[in-house]
Structure 1
Amino acid sequence: MRTPPMTITDQAARSPVRRDDATGSTPPARDAAATRPDAPRLTTLDRLEAEAIHVIREVVAEFERPVLLFSGGKDSVLVLHLAAKAFAPGRVPFPVLHVDTGHNFPEVLRFRDETVARLGIALEVARVQDYIDDGRLHDRADGTRNPLQTLPLLDAIAAGRHDAVFGGARRDEDKARAKERIISLRDEFGQWDPRNQRPELWSLYNGRHTPGQHVRAFPISNWTELDVWSYIARERIPLPSLYFAHEREVYARDGMWRPVGPFSPPRGDERVEVRTVRYRTVGDMSCTGAVESTAADLDAIVAEVAASTLTERGATRADDRLSEAAMEDRKKDGYF
């Protein structure tokens, strides 16, 4: 005699799947490995680190002559640290490139040179002053040289035959940077078209390009400023002293504390004061403002950033206030 087939009710009664007594619903399936008491738990920083290292390794594997844009600022320092971890115990397998405007903070230049010497990597420098001296560029009326970096950068990329350029840009910094892909194509003129972006599904990146083109690679695109500082604090990554609270001569302009220096002199009606300040982002002396702060160590900076309601660039970068689309206009021309 044949046994009649089980009904759905019979199957449910014999099923080992536990049901919630109150609702009768089946709880979601759980990975057995994840329920082990000794199973490692990845934090947000662990996942961001793994994604960034994956991007760096993919670019090095796919491209012939990558280079890292290195200003000595915290984001490029972070990318360099991640690259060192990606290829440890070997050396970072690509050089770093700094576009020197001539208006840099001395502390940042010293840190740049100390860092490349410590890691034993090559440093390429493109100097804006060389272009001004021979007439290819001219100083702007507002004094800032940040927009003048584009031509030296593109020339340095061409001279080094770099087909991939790592940058430390993050999507949370600016609306234009939020449009970027992790692997972003630049055309034969080094220009970026925000309407011509390639899809990035899962962790698959399209680096295809023709001769003369190159890509910009942004391993920390998905990080926030708080993520950056939290990771720097966790890893105890060295940074330029400007990032920590210190006494400095400053004057107020456009809602920012501007540094007193040869490239950012105060006007006649601007009063110089000594304040305890630090820098949230590091650019030229002529366009970067400080914020009042007593955060003198990494843990204090993490707490300060967590409570801030202003983005770092919006609070401290005069060059981003030139127009509503200042960053996007520069990026279309080939800027970082």
Structure 2
Amino acid sequence: MSSAEGAAPRPAPTRLDRLESEAVYILREAAAFVRPALLFSGGKDSAVLLHLALKAFAPQKPGFKLLHIDTGHNFPEVIAYRDQRARQTGLDLIVREVEESIRRGSVRVESETASRNAAQAVTLVEAQQEFEFDALIGGARRDEEKARAKERVFSHRDAFGAWRPRAQRPELWSLFNRRLGAGEHMRVFPLSNWTEADVWAYIARERIELPRLYYAHERAVVRRAGLLFPVTALTPAGENETIESLTVRFRTVGDITCTCPVESTAEGAEEVLRETLTASVSERGATRIDDRANAAAMERRKLEGYF
């Protein structure tokens, strides 16, 4: 009897195995562009994306630069994590700031404390044009929001960085059309088919380190419009609001001015996964104020060049 005949059968691939394999394939396809960059904010999805990129090209480093569009309103823990991971991986990190766009006059904000989420679109396109990136690889997922559910894995952007939903290209049998015209570029989303639960299951399986605020911690908050608002210099409590110290975690991390935590005692990825499996609202719908306030906000921002 041959060794092959006596070998134990291989276990069937799990859902995470299939998602990982698909993401690795997409990342390798994206590497065929001339000047790709991986969008890395330090959030959980970009952390998973970076982990996958390191796997996809091991033992070599990925041929991507890391790019972060800094609103200036980020949580300090996330910025520290971003810089730490860039040092650990040895990948070049490019940071472009919304504040610089404001100084140039290409971005206007209502006030210093107004949300800068939408303003990132302008700074992102400016960075793409500055470095002539022809592909920007991001961690967006279709389950996050209705507009993202309509987007292709290889999402074509015109010379102004805008998304045109009626001009999307077919992707039958995972065949991706990389053709670009002058000034155009592609947004590539290897996590398109992942869910929030998939992300947390993968973080748990792969033991991916994240900023501490994704797990239970004590934080000063106020209750406002049915949500918990973090009390910070950018988001102070109102005169008639009561500050509470609660055990919370963040499901998603973005601009401090529009990102709210949820009450939680989950101290590890497995516990977060259990909470996620029982959640009835997506993380953006539950904790991102600008998305929750206006169902059309994301699609409008994407038409203007958002991630």
Give the TM-score category using the shorter length: over 0.9
In the alignment, which residue of structure 2 is the partner of 1:294?
A: 265
* AA at the equivalent of 1:180: E
1:326 pairs, out of 277, 297, 301, with 297
- Structure of higher RCO (CA pairs closer than 8 Å, 6+ residues apart): 2
Say if 2:234 is the partner of 1:263: yes
Q: Quick one: distance in 2 between partners of 1:114 and 1:269?
A: 40
1:232 pairs, out of 200, 203, 209, with 203
In the alignment, which residue of structure 2 is the partner of 1:199?
A: 170
Q: Which runs of 5+ in 2 are unaligned?
A: none
Identity of aligned residues (%): 54
Q: Quick one: distance in 1 between partners of 2:277 and 2:245?
A: 26
What count of residue pairs does the alignment treat as equivalent? 301
Q: Quick one: distance in 2 between partners of 1:118 and 1:298?
A: 22
In the alignment, which residue of structure 1 is the partner of 2:72?
A: 102
Q: Quick one: distance in 2 between partners of 1:201 and 1:331?
A: 23
Q: Quick one: distance in 2 between partners of 1:164 and 1:137?
A: 23
In the alignment, which residue of structure 2 is the partner of 1:208?
A: 179
* AA at the equivalent of 1:146: N
User: Residue 105 of structure 1: CA displacement?
Assistant: 0.2
Which secondary structure state, in structure 2, belongs to the residue aligned with residue 274 of structure 1? Answer: strand
Give the structure with higher Rg (CA). Answer: 1
User: Residue 265 of structure 1: CA displacement?
Assistant: 1.4
Which secondary structure state, in structure 2, belongs to the residue aligned with residue 216 of structure 1? Answer: strand
User: Residue 134 of structure 1: CA displacement?
Assistant: 3.7
Say if 2:106 is the partner of 1:136: yes
In the alignment, which residue of structure 2 is the partner of 1:29?
A: none
Q: Quick one: distance in 1 between partners of 2:170 and 2:104?
A: 42
In the alignment, which residue of structure 2 is the partner of 1:127?
A: 97
1:69 pairs, out of 5, 28, 39, with 39
* AA at the equivalent of 1:118: Q
1:114 pairs, out of 81, 84, 94, with 84
User: Residue 253 of structure 1: CA displacement?
Assistant: 1.8
User: Residue 173 of structure 1: CA displacement?
Assistant: 0.4
CA RMSD of aligned residues (A): 1.3
Q: Quick one: distance in 1 between partners of 2:108 and 2:237?
A: 22
1:122-170: CA deviation from partner (whole Å, max 9, x where unpaired): 0111101112234332222571111111111000001111000001000
Say if 2:161 is the partner of 1:187: no
User: Residue 37 of structure 1: CA displacement?
Assistant: 4.5
Q: Quick one: distance in 1 between partners of 2:241 and 2:108?
A: 27
After the TM superposition, which residues 168-183 of structure 1 pair with which residues of structure 2 at under 5 Å, given as runs? 168-183=139-154
* AA at the equivalent of 2:20: E
In the alignment, which residue of structure 1 is the partner of 2:54?
A: 84
1:206-245: CA deviation from partner (whole Å, max 9, x where unpaired): 1111120000000010000000000010000000111000
Q: TM-score by structure 1 length?
A: 0.87
Give the conservation status (yes or no) of the 8 Å contact 2:286–2:292. Answer: no
Which secondary structure state, in structure 1, belongs to the residue aligned with residue 202 of structure 2? Answer: helix
Deviates more, 1:247-256 or 1:287-296: 247-256
